[in-house]
Amino acid sequence: MPDVIVVGAGPAGSAAACHLARAGLDVRLLEKSAFPREKVCGDGLTPRAVRELLDLGIDIDAPGWFRNRGLRLIAGDRLLELPWPSDGGHPPFGLTRTRHDFDDILARHAVSAGATLSQNTKVTGPLQDRTGRVIGVRTDDGDHRAPIVIAADGASSRLSVALGLHPRRDRPIGVAARRYYRSPRHDDPYLEAWLDLVPAGYGWVFGMGDGTCNVGVAFLRTAHADCPTLLDDWLARTPPDWGFTEDNAAGPLRGAALPMGYARRPHYYPGLLLTGDSGGMINPSNGEGIAYALEAARIAAETITSALAAPTPGQRERTLYRYPSAITQANGRPFTLGRLFTRAIENPHVMRAATAAGIANPPLMRFALKLLGNLTDPTADRLATALTRLTPTS
């Protein structure tokens, strides 16, 4: 019997499996599909995500990784380029990589660390003992038991739903859609965000460095917009030489929901830890999820490793119950700031005023990028850190 079962081999699941296997634990990683496979995502990785990849030991100098310098913001006829902060807290660059490749790389990395990967294995529900504690999972090929299970099975999280853990209605839900286009802009060194498409939303152009761009839109569900129409209307206004036309499309339009701001809680149910999208670990400010999935995976692995080393069942359980507070301590304050931010920009007048003021004030936008993007360094940015600390964690 393995020490830990991880359900879902996306970024959160594979990263958790890698950290746990490195710690010497017997890990079984279950994935419902087979690699390589598609996932809907903007494919942009901020310095926060890069830091976690480096900690995992991913070779980001290998072919296929494309570096970017920062974020370019566009609103109307105004443009502002913001380099990633270089204060020493995070790498001074971001990356892009398709999820088709990215998830495969992380899963194989977990296997190389010692985890066992089972593909085409669909988890249908949890196994529970008479007290209700999760002691494994049911799959389409039989039951699998382990003392601890990690739910990294995405926004819909079949495991969580089966246990009655549903998304909170007071948390924002985003909607996003993306499409790949062959484009001469594929090697643009900046991630580009268009801020004036719809209230509480934005469009993006991320160069993949491989001849294509990932182009998409994201907005809060309360905006009542339509992804295909919004994307088509926006791209029809872009210069023809960018190539964002049907003839240059490199795949279909794909969409997904984004559960944000710790949408599903608690993050620990006896025997089960939630990570990544299953726990709504997406920053409401910008829709970033991969960095927080990787970070939660590391925290989950550290918690489980400590718990399994405890001498008694009671001490083990007390250690596992500390996982939610560790997650909240890591990002509760910036996620709360993000929720406040999304509530404000749902008002179109506030959105327009904030966009116009920000684009015209580079220092303000650099500060906002650090604060809302959670890229502050306690030793180098005292004001942003102070404001974050003044914010409640939930």
pLDDT at residue 245 in the model: 97
pLDDT at residue 286 in the model: 85
For residue 115, give the 3-state DSSP assignment: coil
Residue 188, both tokens? 């643009």
Q: Indicate whether 367 pLDDT > 80.
A: no
> Strand 78-83's sheet: what is its strand order?
78-83, 70-75, 190-194, 201-207, 212-220, 173-182, 254-259
Least confident of 34-43, 112-121, 370-379: 370-379
**Using CA atoms, how far apart are residues 208 and 165, in angstroms rounded to an integer?**
36
Report the greatest alpha carbon distance in the chain.
66
The dihedral over CA atoms of 261, 265, 268, 270, expressed in degrees to the nearest 10, equals -170
pTM: 0.91
Paired with 185 in beta bridges are none
The dihedral over CA atoms of 97, 101, 106, 110, expressed in degrees to the nearest 10, equals -160
Query: Domain limits of the chain?
Result: 4-68+95-169+260-344
- Determine contact, residues 58/106, Cβ cutoff 8 Å: yes
- Note the pLDDT tens digit of each residue in 299-318: 999 999 999 999 999 999 99
pLDDT at residue 200 in the model: 80
What is the DSSP code string of 222-264?
GG---HHHHHHHHHTTS-GGG--SGGGB-S--EEEEEE-SS-S
The percentage of the chain sitting over the pLDDT mark of 90, rounded to a whole number, equals 72
**Using CA atoms, how far apart are residues 39 and 17, in angstroms rounded to an integer?**
19
Residues 6 or more apart whose CB falls under 8 angstroms from that of 57 comprise: 109
**Using CA atoms, how far apart are residues 113 and 26, in angstroms rounded to an integer?**
11
pLDDT at residue 195 in the model: 87
- Determine contact, residues 117/29, Cβ cutoff 8 Å: yes
What is the DSSP code string of 361-373?
-HHHHHHHHHHHT
The conformation of residue 184, written as its DSSP 8-state character, comes to G
**Using CA atoms, how far apart are residues 115 and 320, in angstroms rounded to an integer?**
21
- Note the pLDDT tens digit of each residue in 250-276: 999 999 999 999 999 999 999 999 999
Q: How buried is residue 382: exposed, middle or buried, by Cβ count under 10 Å (0-12/13-18/19+)?
A: exposed
Residues 6 or more apart whose CB falls under 8 angstroms from that of 63 comprise: none
pLDDT at residue 354 in the model: 63
Strands 134-139 and 123-128: antiparallel
Q: Indicate whether 1 pLDDT > 80.
A: yes
Report in angstroms the alpha-carbon separations of 334 from 154, 198, 295, 373.
Answer: 22, 24, 14, 8
- Note the pLDDT tens digit of each residue in 197-226: 887 889 999 999 999 999 999 998 877 788
- Note the pLDDT tens digit of each residue in 60-90: 999 999 999 999 999 888 888 989 987 667 8
As a CATH number, domain 4-68+95-169+260-344 is 3.50.50.60
Sorting pLDDT into bands at 50, 70 and 90, what band is 175? very high
**Using CA atoms, how far apart are residues 338 and 86, in angstroms rounded to an integer?**
22
pLDDT at residue 372 in the model: 60
Q: Indicate whether 387 pLDDT > 50.
A: no
- Note the pLDDT tens digit of each residue in 31-52: 999 999 999 999 999 999 999 9
Q: Helix 323-345 and helix 290-308: axis angle, to 10°? A: 160
Residue 394, both tokens? 């939930």
Q: Indicate whether 383 pLDDT > 60.
A: no
Sorting pLDDT into bands at 50, 70 and 90, what band is 169? confident
Q: Indicate whether 384 pLDDT > 80.
A: no
